Amino acid sequence: MIKKDFPVEDVRRFLEPTPTVLVTSAYKDKQNIMTMGWYTVMEFVPSLIGCMITGSNYSFGLITKSRECVINIPSSDLAKKVVAVGNCSGADTDKFTSIGFTAEPASIVKAPLLKECFASFECKIHDSKLINAYNFFIFEVVRAHVASRPKFPETIAYRGDSQFVLSGKNIRIHSDK
Protein backbone atom coordinates (compact mmCIF):
# COMPACT_ATOMS: atom_id res chain seq x y z
CA MET A 1 0.00 0.00 0.00
CA ILE A 2 1.52 3.30 -1.08
CA LYS A 3 0.90 6.26 1.22
CA LYS A 4 1.42 9.96 0.64
CA ASP A 5 1.63 12.97 2.92
CA PHE A 6 -1.73 14.18 4.19
CA PRO A 7 -2.67 17.43 5.99
CA VAL A 8 -2.53 16.74 9.74
CA GLU A 9 -5.50 19.06 10.36
CA ASP A 10 -7.67 16.65 8.33
CA VAL A 11 -6.78 13.34 10.01
CA ARG A 12 -10.15 13.37 11.77
CA ARG A 13 -11.70 12.28 8.47
CA PHE A 14 -10.24 8.85 9.22
CA LEU A 15 -10.62 8.79 13.00
CA GLU A 16 -14.15 10.04 13.49
CA PRO A 17 -16.63 7.43 12.44
CA THR A 18 -18.52 7.64 15.74
CA PRO A 19 -22.18 8.64 15.60
CA THR A 20 -22.71 12.37 15.33
CA VAL A 21 -24.68 13.46 18.39
CA LEU A 22 -26.83 16.37 19.45
CA VAL A 23 -25.93 17.86 22.83
CA THR A 24 -28.67 19.71 24.67
CA SER A 25 -27.94 22.14 27.46
CA ALA A 26 -29.88 24.49 29.71
CA TYR A 27 -29.09 27.20 32.24
CA LYS A 28 -31.74 29.37 33.88
CA ASP A 29 -34.21 30.28 31.10
CA LYS A 30 -31.83 29.48 28.19
CA GLN A 31 -31.47 26.17 26.38
CA ASN A 32 -29.65 25.03 23.26
CA ILE A 33 -28.81 22.15 20.95
CA MET A 34 -25.36 21.71 19.41
CA THR A 35 -24.04 19.15 16.95
CA MET A 36 -20.96 17.24 18.07
CA GLY A 37 -18.96 14.90 15.86
CA TRP A 38 -16.12 14.02 18.20
CA TYR A 39 -16.12 12.46 21.67
CA THR A 40 -14.57 9.44 23.32
CA VAL A 41 -15.65 6.83 25.82
CA MET A 42 -13.18 7.12 28.69
CA GLU A 43 -14.44 4.56 31.21
CA PHE A 44 -17.23 2.03 31.55
CA VAL A 45 -17.96 2.23 35.32
CA PRO A 46 -18.63 4.97 36.02
CA SER A 47 -19.68 5.66 32.43
CA LEU A 48 -17.40 8.55 31.38
CA ILE A 49 -17.41 10.42 28.07
CA GLY A 50 -14.83 13.03 27.12
CA CYS A 51 -15.29 15.75 24.52
CA MET A 52 -13.98 19.12 23.44
CA ILE A 53 -16.46 21.99 23.14
CA THR A 54 -14.93 25.19 21.86
CA GLY A 55 -15.18 28.16 24.21
CA SER A 56 -16.87 30.30 21.53
CA ASN A 57 -19.76 27.85 21.27
CA TYR A 58 -22.98 29.08 22.91
CA SER A 59 -23.42 25.68 24.60
CA PHE A 60 -20.01 26.00 26.26
CA GLY A 61 -21.34 28.71 28.60
CA LEU A 62 -24.58 26.89 29.35
CA ILE A 63 -22.76 23.65 30.16
CA THR A 64 -20.00 25.21 32.26
CA LYS A 65 -22.58 27.13 34.32
CA SER A 66 -25.08 24.27 34.74
CA ARG A 67 -22.40 21.53 34.88
CA GLU A 68 -24.65 19.15 32.93
CA CYS A 69 -26.03 18.27 29.49
CA VAL A 70 -27.76 15.52 27.53
CA ILE A 71 -26.04 13.64 24.71
CA ASN A 72 -28.72 12.59 22.21
CA ILE A 73 -28.07 10.16 19.36
CA PRO A 74 -30.09 10.83 16.21
CA SER A 75 -30.74 8.27 13.49
CA SER A 76 -29.75 9.00 9.89
CA ASP A 77 -33.26 10.17 8.94
CA LEU A 78 -32.52 13.32 11.00
CA ALA A 79 -29.30 14.11 9.08
CA LYS A 80 -30.53 17.40 7.55
CA LYS A 81 -31.71 18.61 10.97
CA VAL A 82 -28.35 17.59 12.52
CA VAL A 83 -26.53 19.72 9.92
CA ALA A 84 -28.97 22.61 10.41
CA VAL A 85 -28.28 22.58 14.17
CA GLY A 86 -24.55 22.77 13.48
CA ASN A 87 -24.92 25.64 11.02
CA CYS A 88 -26.47 28.21 13.35
CA SER A 89 -25.84 29.62 16.81
CA GLY A 90 -28.11 29.20 19.81
CA ALA A 91 -27.11 32.73 20.84
CA ASP A 92 -29.55 34.11 18.24
CA THR A 93 -31.65 31.09 17.17
CA ASP A 94 -34.14 28.92 19.05
CA LYS A 95 -33.07 25.66 17.42
CA PHE A 96 -35.92 23.69 18.98
CA THR A 97 -38.54 25.83 17.23
CA SER A 98 -36.72 26.77 14.03
CA ILE A 99 -35.33 23.30 13.24
CA GLY A 100 -38.16 21.28 14.73
CA PHE A 101 -36.95 19.30 17.74
CA THR A 102 -39.16 18.41 20.68
CA ALA A 103 -37.71 19.01 24.16
CA GLU A 104 -38.74 16.48 26.79
CA PRO A 105 -37.89 16.67 30.49
CA ALA A 106 -34.95 14.62 31.69
CA SER A 107 -35.05 12.58 34.90
CA ILE A 108 -31.97 13.98 36.66
CA VAL A 109 -30.56 16.98 34.75
CA LYS A 110 -32.31 20.17 33.64
CA ALA A 111 -31.15 19.95 30.02
CA PRO A 112 -33.87 18.42 27.82
CA LEU A 113 -33.98 15.09 26.03
CA LEU A 114 -34.76 15.22 22.31
CA LYS A 115 -37.90 13.19 21.61
CA GLU A 116 -36.86 12.51 17.98
CA CYS A 117 -33.56 10.83 18.96
CA PHE A 118 -33.42 7.09 19.67
CA ALA A 119 -31.04 7.51 22.63
CA SER A 120 -30.49 10.23 25.23
CA PHE A 121 -27.79 10.16 27.92
CA GLU A 122 -28.15 12.53 30.86
CA CYS A 123 -24.69 13.74 31.87
CA LYS A 124 -23.05 15.71 34.67
CA ILE A 125 -19.51 17.08 34.64
CA HIS A 126 -17.39 14.45 36.38
CA ASP A 127 -14.03 16.22 36.17
CA SER A 128 -13.47 19.86 35.20
CA LYS A 129 -9.65 20.01 35.37
CA LEU A 130 -9.16 20.16 31.60
CA ILE A 131 -11.91 22.66 30.74
CA ASN A 132 -9.88 25.87 31.25
CA ALA A 133 -6.76 24.61 29.50
CA TYR A 134 -8.28 22.60 26.62
CA ASN A 135 -12.08 23.11 26.64
CA PHE A 136 -12.16 19.37 27.35
CA PHE A 137 -15.13 18.10 29.35
CA ILE A 138 -15.32 14.78 31.15
CA PHE A 139 -18.96 13.84 31.64
CA GLU A 140 -20.48 11.02 33.66
CA VAL A 141 -23.62 9.49 32.21
CA VAL A 142 -26.03 9.45 35.15
CA ARG A 143 -29.13 8.16 33.32
CA ALA A 144 -29.58 6.58 29.89
CA HIS A 145 -32.77 6.38 27.81
CA VAL A 146 -32.70 4.15 24.70
CA ALA A 147 -35.52 3.09 22.36
CA SER A 148 -36.00 -0.67 22.14
CA ARG A 149 -36.29 -0.63 18.33
CA PRO A 150 -34.45 -0.71 16.08
CA LYS A 151 -31.67 -2.50 17.97
CA PHE A 152 -28.96 -1.03 15.71
CA PRO A 153 -30.28 2.23 14.21
CA GLU A 154 -28.54 3.69 11.18
CA THR A 155 -26.50 6.74 12.23
CA ILE A 156 -24.25 9.30 10.57
CA ALA A 157 -20.66 10.18 11.45
CA TYR A 158 -18.99 13.47 10.53
CA ARG A 159 -15.72 13.29 8.60
CA GLY A 160 -15.12 17.02 8.19
CA ASP A 161 -15.52 19.27 5.16
CA SER A 162 -19.30 18.59 4.96
CA GLN A 163 -18.65 14.86 4.53
CA PHE A 164 -20.53 12.18 6.50
CA VAL A 165 -20.44 8.40 6.52
CA LEU A 166 -23.54 6.27 7.06
CA SER A 167 -23.21 3.50 9.62
CA GLY A 168 -22.92 0.18 7.91
CA LYS A 169 -24.30 -3.27 8.41
CA ASN A 170 -23.93 -4.59 11.94
CA ILE A 171 -21.70 -7.70 12.04
CA ARG A 172 -20.29 -9.88 14.82
CA ILE A 173 -16.70 -11.12 14.48
CA HIS A 174 -15.23 -13.81 16.71
CA SER A 175 -11.53 -14.43 17.14
CA ASP A 176 -10.11 -17.73 15.89
CA LYS A 177 -8.26 -18.18 19.20
Mean pLDDT to the nearest integer, 137-151: 93
What is the pLDDT confidence band of residue 132, given thresholds at 50, 70 and 90?
A: very high
42 falls within a domain: yes
Q: What is the pLDDT of residue 5?
A: 87
Please write the tens of the pLDDT for every residue from 65-101: 999 999 999 999 999 999 999 999 999 999 999 999 9
170 burial via Cβ count (<10 Å: 0-12, 13-18, 19+): exposed
How far is residue 22's CA from residue 99's CA, in Å, rounded to a whole number?
A: 13
Indicate the number of domains in the chain. 1
What is the pLDDT confidence band of residue 15, given thresholds at 50, 70 and 90?
A: low
- Domain at 109, CATH number: 2.30.110.10
pTM: 0.91
DSSP 72: E
Sign of the dihedral defined by the CA atoms of residues 114, 128, 87, 158, in that order: negative
Q: What's the number of CA atoms in the CB half-sphere (13 Å) around residue 86?
A: 18
86 falls within a domain: yes
90 falls within a domain: yes
8 falls within a domain: no
Mean pLDDT to the nearest integer, 8-35: 86
CB distance 137 to 63 below 8 Å: yes
Which residues span the domain enclosing 154? Answer: 19-166
How far is residue 157's CA from residue 160's CA, in Å, rounded to a whole number?
A: 9
72 falls within a domain: yes
129 falls within a domain: yes
